[in-house]
A = this chain, B = another copy of it.
Amino acid sequence: MRYKSLIINNPEDLMFGIAPYPVKTRRGLEIGGGQVYAELNFTLPVMSINKNTLDRVYEHYREIAEGALERAVHLNSKGVVLEFETLLEMTKTPSIGVEIVKIMNEICENYYQKFGLASEIRLTPNDLREFERPAKQRTSGYLEPMMELFEKGMIAGGDLLSIESTGGKEVSDDALMNCDIKTIVFALAVLGVRDMRFLWKKIVSAANNHGKIAAGDSACGFGNTAMVLAEKKYIPKVFAALVRVISVVRSIVAIEEGAVGPDKDCAYEGPFLKAITGIPISMEGKTSACAHLSPIGNIASACCDLWSNESVQNIKLLSGMAPTAYMEQLEYDARLMNEALRAGKLHRNVLQQLLVASDVFTDPQALILSPKNVIRISKELVKGDSYVANARNGALVAIDIIEEALASGKMKLSEMETNYLPILRDDLESIPDNESDFVEMMLPLIDPGKFILAEYGL
């Protein structure tokens, strides 16, 4: 791992709206430069995407962008990011995705010219490679349309490039359900890391060619999936908390390859990435309850630079279209943080403290997101010589933190949960420092039909 120390060492400096390395965009956003902006995410309502419905599809995105920006102007927004996360058909046939970017970019430009509202599009193609099973991470024919969408989407007005890549998912899905932390480390710190390196080299070079911004990659299929499963009480929360920590060593690879942020929201590894690398991040919490329920509604915003709703369908609520309503909610959340930033150090510290304290001891997944714990865990995440060792060390200190909170009586967990702690600790402690030792240890334990080693350069 390239990073050996933290850019932010003091929990007090891990603050919403402020990143050591802000990202400036074409229309004047300064993400991490002292403001929190809303990042609106959206998707289609129930409908299929085909020749006959394409016009209606475009119309939906037009309506979403218009409604959202109109509302943002009305609320004197300081700026907005629209995240366009594509659906299968829009990546498979890149011209569809590109057309949608074009439509939304025109609206962004229009609101910029007419009202001075700064907005940018984050373009997030979905990772098509997982359509093949076992997936061919490097040789898949699906790579081509994905990269084409990135390329042409940039030209059409997509300024921030992201993806939620799926390298390692073939083995992590089962591992999540089995609460198998060693395989999670294997999936993220070995397979994920290797795939990220492969993929982000491409994305960063494409971005640089066009003068666009390689933003980041969130371990959605890992961290977010774990949280969703834990919220359903399917897997222990303590386990889900560790998955998040482990996903950091995977997601940081994008930055090592040249991504500069804002990191994507949905696996919540952002705070660690911000502490370690200084890039601005997007986070989501209470206002993404439209997309998934979570135990980290307030604390998630403690050090966000963009504040997102993860996703909402373009359906009618009583007030109007759902994306417009969520735009409003995000704006008010952002306003509160921005007012605190404006008012000065006392105010922003108090607000952050309240955001943190209101959630921190309610759930281990919240616990590890307090700025203090983020710094403490991040230090472990950069100490070792390999991604594997770092993942293991980070997760182990997360267990320490959970156990300390339990011992202090401040956090309470059922026995069903606490029973897992020693098991997880033992499992983690059995992981060697060295990647190849670890691979050797794991290969016999994993169904070889599930994934292709060569596709990860192994």
Contact surface of A with B, Cβ cutoff 8 Å:
43, 71, 74-76, 231, 285-287, 289-295, 297-298, 311-313, 315, 317-320, 322, 324-326, 328-329, 331-333, 335-336, 338-340, 343, 346-347, 350-351, 353-355, 357-359, 362
Report the minimum CB–CB distance from A229 to chain B (whole Å): 14
> Which B residues touch A287, using CB under 8 A?
329
CB of A286 within 8 A of CB of B328, answer: yes
CB of B332 within 8 A of CB of A357, answer: no
> Which B residues touch A325, using CB under 8 A?
289-290, 293
CB of A358 within 8 A of CB of B336, answer: yes
Selected from B319, B326, B332, the residue in CB contact (under 8 A) with A291 is B319
In the bound assembly, the distance between CA atoms of A432 and B29 in angstroms comes to 54
Report the minimum CB–CB distance from A179 to chain B (whole Å): 20
Given A286-B328, A350-B347, A350-B351, does the pair A336, B298 have CB atoms closer than 8 Å?
yes
CB of B71 within 8 A of CB of A329, answer: no
CB of A318 within 8 A of CB of B332, answer: no
Query: How many of these chains are in the complex?
Result: 2
CB of B329 within 8 A of CB of A358, answer: no
In the bound assembly, the distance between CA atoms of A326 and B294 in angstroms comes to 12
In the bound assembly, the distance between CA atoms of A325 and B312 in angstroms comes to 12
Report the minimum CB–CB distance from A98 to chain B (whole Å): 25
> Which B residues touch A285, using CB under 8 A?
332
In the bound assembly, the distance between CA atoms of A43 and B319 in angstroms comes to 13
Give me 30 A-to-B residue pairs in the complex whose CB atoms sit less than 8 angstroms apart, sorted by A's number.
A71-B293, A74-B231, A75-B295, A286-B328, A286-B329, A286-B332, A286-B333, A287-B329, A289-B326, A289-B328, A290-B317, A290-B318, A290-B325, A291-B319, A293-B328, A294-B328, A297-B329, A297-B331, A298-B336, A315-B315, A317-B322, A329-B329, A332-B358, A332-B359, A335-B359, A336-B358, A339-B354, A343-B357, A347-B350, A350-B351
